[in-house]
Structure 1
Amino acid sequence: MSNAIPKGWSEYRQGDVAEFSNGRAYKLTEWEKQGTPVIRLQNLTGSGKDYYYSNLELPERQYCDFGDLLYMWSATFGAHIWKGPKAIYHYHIWKVTCDEVNITKPYLYQLLKQKTEEWMSKSNGMGILHVTKGSMEDMLLLLPPRPEQQKIAATLTAVDDVIESTQAQINKLKDLKTGMMQELLTKGIGHTEFKDSEVGRLPKAWNVISLEDITLEHKQGYYSKDAYTSIGAYVVRITDLSNPYITFEGMPRMVMSEVDFNAYKIIKGDFLFARSGAIGRYGIFDSDNEAVFASYLIRFRFNQDMALNKFVGYCYESDYCQFQLRAITQGSSNVNINAQNIKGLLIPLPSLPEQEKIVAQISSLDATLIANTKKMNALQSTKKALMQDLLTGKVRVKVN
């Protein structure tokens, strides 16, 4: 930490002003179908809406209530304000309780979000990381007086509210897209005759294939312990995949050998699947930028004379593949898939001209989604800059 302390601010050890309480690990036999909901990582990230339940009687510290501050500390990082009913938080989550004298909960929430972004930007993003409770407690914090904390937190929370509203618009568009995919990928365009198939009822003229039938080659991504840089090849990560696009805003770069670059480079038309954690995310490379793909991705190259990349992508997003993926990962504590799992997925296959028509209709909605996503990215950049200025004392707020 810098020796420069803003006037009026004080330095504290985080463990002296906030308590980090461990969550509880569960055996499969302890899950119930009703009772007190148990918050897992996916319930906080939004990747999973279903809850497990428990009827165990636990110490009060292992429950959280509406408004409590939680922190995910393994594989997935982040601070969250719980907005649900009384619940139990799982093992990879801490409940954070502030002393409310030296530090307030809204301020620590924003501070932990900033610290998390710093850690993630400094890591190479190639592997699964975690932080320890001891390191969190020993971390030194520069804290302004309580009134200044309240003003800073209020300013940042106002930006959060706009971000949340924009995200709600994006979620509505995604729901519309899901409905459109369900209609077009099961009924097609202009069909009157249908048949039963391995993936459900389809137009009679369509076929069913596995992704292996159209796979030309596949490869797992690049792993390195080297730090990111501002030059070199772009490194596409899971977080850069946005179904079906790949977002370069905020994407890190890395200097690597020519041999490694040639082995892991991405060319236009390459299809990237997330193989760990965020199962269901993918991106189709359509850029002139020099880039490689990180280790938690798998690169596929498909036969475009049989199936358009975007059509394959929309099938992958749809219930067709999502049901198959859930069957593969169900009951697993580590949610991972591999190339063989992907090649085994079944999808419907209309003619190329009909694929083009279906893709054109869904892509029109994607364009609106992209516009809203760019707005979201701009808001997040504004928030990041504000956090850097306000939470470090570089820019001071006026307190009445």
Structure 2
Amino acid sequence: MQLKQGCLHRSKKTSGQQNLTIELCKKLPLPLPSIPEQKKIAQILSTWDQAITATERLLENSQQRKKGLMQQLLTGQKRLPGFEGEWEEFLIAELEDKGWLKLGRGKVISKKDIENKPGQYPIYSSSVKNDGLMGAYGEFMFDEELISWSVDGGGNFFYRPKHKFSVTNVSGYMRLDIDRLSYKFLAEQLAYLHERQAFNYQTKAHPSVIRKLYRVKIPSLREQQKIAQVLAVTDAEVAANQVRLECLKEEKKALMHQLLTGKRRVQVETEAA
């Protein structure tokens, strides 16, 4: 079937030629092993399918655990051992007025800029996919820990650990007073609050909007740091499951290429006469 679909894709010129192409594909030789070998190959691939399904469940479970911890720890519903006292609440604008954070916007980085100055430094934009990674560039705007967010379409927040990178003009960034606020903690709390907002491509998350929209709960710096450490552990678990899932999918794809083309044969037990 895959061979026929490939033939159809390569040979089809116009919609009027589709039937003719299908007829041509029907005449292509399709490599078919014996029934016992077909069953053996199906069994092997089924094992990979089961591993992929199991890993998908692990990934979903780890993601749900992260959400549960965020709901408990970032709202003060559950306190970590050794911490007590009331949390303070502030609008982003109030934190800015106190000098605890500053908001900024990224800059325009065009495709021509990237072509003229290729490099290895990440560029982050407004996309949610792949944590907003858009590409790489020969220059960088930052070499520090920051929080960025999507201004256009989504308003999603991202924690950026210290590295050399840039953000585009459709992204904003926050620079914090690290004697008052934890980057990881505040990024996680803003991400948690963002899930309860309704942004789209018409409702843009400009700094003027962010300032008045988000009211965050702030415990002591030490408690912020401890919560951030706990959530970082869950992040590592999610990331490990994501990597394992992608590896399994790539392994299955490579195995299909070998087994379904006859490039690699499997041993089949022959029945005694």
Equivalent pairs, count: 233
- Answer whether contact 2:153 2:201 (CA < 8 A) is retained: no
Cα gap change, 1:365 to 1:218, in 2 (>3 Å): same
After TM superposition, give the deviation of residue 300 of structure 1 in Å.
1.9
**In structure 1, C-alpha distance between the alignment counterparts of 2:103 and 2:178, rounded to whole Å:** 13
Question: After the TM superposition, which residues 216-295 of structure 1 pair with which residues of structure 2 at under 5 Å, given as runs?
Answer: 216-226=102-112, 231-237=119-125, 238=127, 239-241=129-131, 252-255=135-138, 261=139, 265-287=141-163, 290-295=164-169
Match of residue 363, structure 1, among 227, 232, 249: 232
SS of the equivalent of 2:111 reads coil
1:311 corresponds to which of 185, 195, 201: 185
Residue segments in structure 2 that go unaligned for 5+ positions in a row: 1-5, 32-37, 266-273
Residue identity opposite 1:347 in structure 2: V
Is the 8 Å Cα contact of residues 217 and 302 (structure 1) preserved in structure 2?
Answer: no
Residue pair 1:321, 1:347 contacting (<8 A) in 2 also: no
State the alpha-carbon separation in 1 of the partners of residues 7 and 203 from structure 2. 44
Structure 1 residue 311: Cα displacement:
0.8
Could you say which residue in structure 1 is the equivalent of 2:22? 102
User: Is 1:206 paired with 2:87?
Assistant: yes
Letter in 2 for 1:240: N
How far does residue 335 in structure 1 lie from its aligned partner after superposition? 5.7
Within the alignment, does 1:398 sit opposite 2:272 as a pair? no
Deviation at 1:348, TM superposition (A): 0.3
RMSD, aligned CA: 4.5
Structure ranking higher in helix proportion: 2
**Is residue 272–residue 284 contact of structure 1 (8 Å, CA) maintained in 2?**
yes
* Cα pair distance change 1:9/1:183, threshold 3 Å: closer
Q: Distance in 1 between the 2:29 and 2:211 partners?
A: 56
Residue 233 (structure 2) pairs with residue 347 (structure 1): no
Partners of 2:53 and 2:90 in 1: how far apart? 40
1:137-188: per-residue Cα shift (whole Å, max 9, x none)?
xxxxx9x95957xx9xx99999787556534322211111111121122324
For structure 1, the 5+ residue unaligned runs are 1-7, 19-97, 104-141, 192-202, 256-260
- Superposed CA deviations along residues 15-40 of structure 1, whole A, max 9, x for unmatched, are 5289xxxxxxxxxxxxxxxxxxxxxx
TM superposition score normalised by structure 1: 0.46
Q: Point out the structure with the larger strand share.
A: 1
C-alpha separation between the residues in 1 aligned to 2:107 and 2:254?
35
The structure whose RCO (Cα within 8 Å, separation 6+) is larger is 2
TM-score, structure 2 normalization: 0.64
Task: Give the distance between the partners of 1:374 and 1:275, measured in 2 at CA.
Answer: 29
